[in-house]
Chain A
Amino acid sequence: MSAMKAKHQRLVLVVVALVALVGAGLLAAYALRNQANYFYLPEQMQADPPEVGQAVRLGGMVEAGSLITDPDGVTLRFTVTGNDGSRVPVRFSGIAPDLFVEGSGVVAEGRLEADGTFVADNLLAKHDENYVPKELEGMTQAQAAKMAEETTVGIE
């Protein structure tokens, strides 16, 4: 290597860097195809359900009057509805996020069980007055319009 010509070494470095970066890119592309969390609306989940156990997100409105707490005190059950009245039952164990209430939008991260219940590991609700999870845009037009005209306060 030490006997290598100067031009030659630069070439080797460039090739090594390119190979690593292209490798990283291909690896990323491959992994992203397989591992991305897909987003489902309730109607999509009913028409074309994801595989049981596959990590996906479900986004919709929490149906009014559907929220019940199990006897253990920490398991929530509720129904998420879509635009056309389709409904998906959801089970969630944990502390619901701030401002998670019936009639508001929610994105549930989790997986579908064999009996058709969606088991959520995590609930993403509105963070504050101005923030709507991006996936909910278009579903709650009033909020989206409000968000567009107001400046959202944020963190950097």
Chain B
Amino acid sequence: MIAEIGHAALWLAAALAALQMLAGFLAVNAGGEGDVARLVRPTAIMQGVLASVAFAMLLWLFATTDLSVKLVAANSHSMKPMIFKLAGAWGNHEGSMLLWVTVMSLAGGLIALVERRLPERTMQATLAAQGLVSLGFYAFLILSSNPFERLPVPAPEGMGLNPLLQDIGLAFHPPTLYIGYVGLSVAFSFAVGALLTRQVTPDFASAMRPWVLGAWVFLTIGITAGSYWAYYELGWGGWWFWDPVENASLMPWLAATALLHSASVLASRDALRIWTIMLGVVAFSMSMVGTFLVRSGILTSVHAFAVDPERGTFILILLALFIGGALLLFALRANTINEGERFAIASREGALVFNNVMLSAILAIVLLGTLYPLLTEAFDVRVSVGPPYFNPVGAIFAVPMFLVMAVGPLLRWRQDRLDRIRPEIALFAAVVIAALIWFGLVMDVAILPLLGLALAVGLGVASFMPLRGRKLTRVPLATWGMVVAHFGIAVALLGMASESAFSEERLAAVQEGGTTTVGPWTITLREVVPVAGPNWTATEAHILASYDGGEPVYLGPQARNFWAPPQETTESALATRWNGQLYAVVGDRAPDGRWQVRLWWKPLVTLIWFGGLLVAVGGVLALLGRVVADLRRRSIARKIVERRSEEEAFARSQAQEASA
């Protein structure tokens, strides 16, 4: 019954999406008024509610482990802890697609509910576009990946969830990432709406900005969390693998970062109109390309998703329709949009444009590197592209971007002179050069980590320079957001460069009671014992690790054996200090009875994720600043209306008295 309710809600939501699209486009044609126009917003809200109902039903099915439903039987198990039962609802293709459309329709419902700044006609065009995109994904879900399909005969027991996914990370990582991916659909719809009604105005940008900011914050958190999860869960000691699925999340992030900045320029300065629209289209297109790459199974990835050519073709068609349609509309309408305000090269806009172009170039490099193996496979040449390509080629554009990022926020809008900020530039240059000399000549670090370290230190200092000479209590929240986010980039960059420059690794076979060392750590393997969990057994190494002869820390890395489905995983153990992490993995037993132990000492590695979180915090601050300003503006507008009606009432009563 639950499955049928979910299925019905899904169909109804799809029908409402169709209605929302039709009503929206009709209303736009009719000039944004009339009965049809009044239909659009309620439809969008209702559609969001129904999709949420469908998703809630799926959660229910997983919570109760209803084995008559195919998806539950294939991915769950009655013995699993509750949190993983629920997380299992989106740990598979169908469930995660349902999460995708749920988030998409909720986002549509939310803009219908709260967004009042834009002209009504642009709003209807936006909601119509949102309906169209949702409809495509509903069709995909219902026709090719129905999560509510029943089995003819209920399964006696579920197949279980991939043990790699039985981790608290899975409970949070996909939903955050999805809110980010799909939140960008709002930017896409706004862009299409603005193109349709030719209303590319600062108002449009300030209406779009909070949505982009929100999606971007979630993307940032999702990527950061995913990276940390891969780091401790896969047991390879790496935090980024340039895996196609990781790239699929990085590409929308790059586009959204560019969009965020160009929307700022449009909102405050009425420049970069076309560029902002273009980025709005590109950002969500990258989300969809990412989905296609993951779902179609055409790429090699540790994120193995369903290998199903039918689904791949379906998404490819959707992709071609949406991206192609949006680009066609863009091509037809772009030249009818008036030029925005002008600006000089040496200005805040100039710096932002430069960095936007650099971000786009990095995006192009990641995209090409991700798609290249597909291209060559068509010619039967099998190729995989990894860090030797992405790191240096990306750095060619990242380095100038970081340089401009350090000084850009110091420049004035419209027109400025570089010699006005000469002291700041000199300070930044001095810090960078000092760091280059110290790390390069004294510590002999390789070129890429060296550049990373120097730029990170310089950027860390430079990110606070916009606050210089200002009264800190009067700095707007949004400016604090920028400072914190830029500082977060510097912190993350420092972590990445430090990890790459100073990591030490030790691989050894150690007998019980034996000792080995890595970096400043001395490690003693006390014993190796068998342990058991709710659905696994493991061998656990008891390790005492002492930093520089200090008080020893206990570590318990495990090699786990799951039985549903049968699989082995390595559970790493971490010892975190302020200046880095010790990472320990236990392996097989050598024939002579010694145990394989792999250890890494990674100085400052935690800064990677700490920096990522700071970036997200910066985004939240900026978002709060915008929302607070918007609420204040609304309450002022309301007061003005009240005051005016009071005055009118007063004037009327005066007039009545006078006539009496």
Contact = CB atoms under 8 A, between A and B. Distances in A.
Interface string A46-88: 0000000001010000000000010111100000000000000
B296 interface: no
B91 A36 contact: no
Contacts of B275: 13, 17
Interface size class on chain A is 35 or more
B369 interface: yes
A71 B508 CA distance: 11
A114 interface: no
B546 interface: no
A150 to B, nearest CB: 8
A128 interface: yes
A27 B306 CA distance: 33
Given A95-B585, A153-B162, A39 B509 contact: no
A16 interface: yes
Contacts of A135: 300, 382
Interface in B329-385: 339, 342-345, 353, 357-358, 360-362, 364-365, 368-369, 372-373, 376, 381-385
B307 A6 contact: no
A72 B591 CA distance: 11
A152 B307 contact: yes
A72 B509 contact: yes
Contacts of B517: none
Nearest to B507: A74
B508 A29 contact: no
A103 interface: no
A16 B360 CA distance: 12
B93 A95 contact: no
A74 B590 contact: yes
Contacts of A129: 565-567
Nearest to B97: A156
Contact of A28 (B302, B307, B368): B368
Nearest to A99: B568
B42 interface: no
A127 to B, nearest CB: 6
B388 interface: yes
Contacts of B165: 153, 155
Contacts of B372: 28, 32, 36
B603 to A, nearest CB: 22
B130 to A, nearest CB: 22
A9 B339 contact: yes
A39 B382 contact: yes
A71 B307 CA distance: 42
A25 B364 contact: yes
A4 B373 CA distance: 44
Interface stretch (B10-18, B428-436, B592-600): B592-600
B389 A32 contact: yes
Contacts of B164: 127-128, 155
B208 interface: no
A131 B305 CA distance: 9
A13 to B, nearest CB: 7
Contacts of B405: none
B161 interface: yes
Nearest to B384: A37
A94 B507 contact: yes
A24 B344 CA distance: 25
Nearest to A151: B306
A63 to B, nearest CB: 18
B415 interface: yes
A35 interface: yes
Contacts of A39: 382-384
B174 A128 contact: no
Given A6-B342, A13-B353, A23-B361, A152 B590 contact: no
Contacts of A128: 162-164, 304, 565, 567
Interface in B206-224: none
Contacts of B507: 74, 93-95
Contacts of B163: 128
B404 interface: no
B583 interface: no
B397 to A, nearest CB: 7
Nearest to A19: B357
A154 B508 contact: no
B587 interface: yes
A104 interface: no
A131 B415 contact: no
Contact of A95 (B303, B343, B364, B596): B596
A130 B294 contact: no
Contacts of A142: none
B585 A36 contact: no
B245 interface: yes
A35 B389 CA distance: 6
Contacts of B353: 13, 16
B596 A20 contact: no
Given A36-B384, A135-B300, A154-B93, A28 B569 contact: no
B65 interface: no
Contacts of B384: 36-37, 39, 57
Of the candidates B174, B308, B509, the one having the most CB atoms from chain A within 10 angstroms of its own CB is B509
A119 to B, nearest CB: 14
A77 B220 CA distance: 42
Contacts of A10: 274, 339
A98 interface: yes
A153 B94 CA distance: 10
A21 interface: yes
Contact of A73 (B383, B509, B570): B509
B385 A156 contact: no
5 contacts: A74-B508, A74-B587, A154-B294, A155-B91, A155-B173
Closest 6 CB pairs of A and B: A73-B509, A95-B587, A73-B590, A24-B361, A98-B568, A154-B305
Interface of A: 1-2, 4, 6-7, 9-10, 13, 16-17, 20-21, 23-25, 27-29, 31-32, 35-39, 55, 57, 69, 71-74, 93-96, 98-99, 127-131, 133-135, 147-148, 151-156
Given A16-B357, A154-B91, A154-B305, 4 more contacts: A9-B343, A32-B385, A37-B388, A156-B174
Interface of B: 74-75, 90-93, 96, 161-165, 170, 173-174, 177-178, 235, 245, 274-275, 294, 297, 299-300, 302-308, 339, 342-345, 353, 357-358, 360-362, 364-365, 368-369, 372-373, 376, 381-386, 388-389, 392-393, 396-397, 415, 507-509, 565-570, 585, 587-588, 590-592, 594, 596, 598
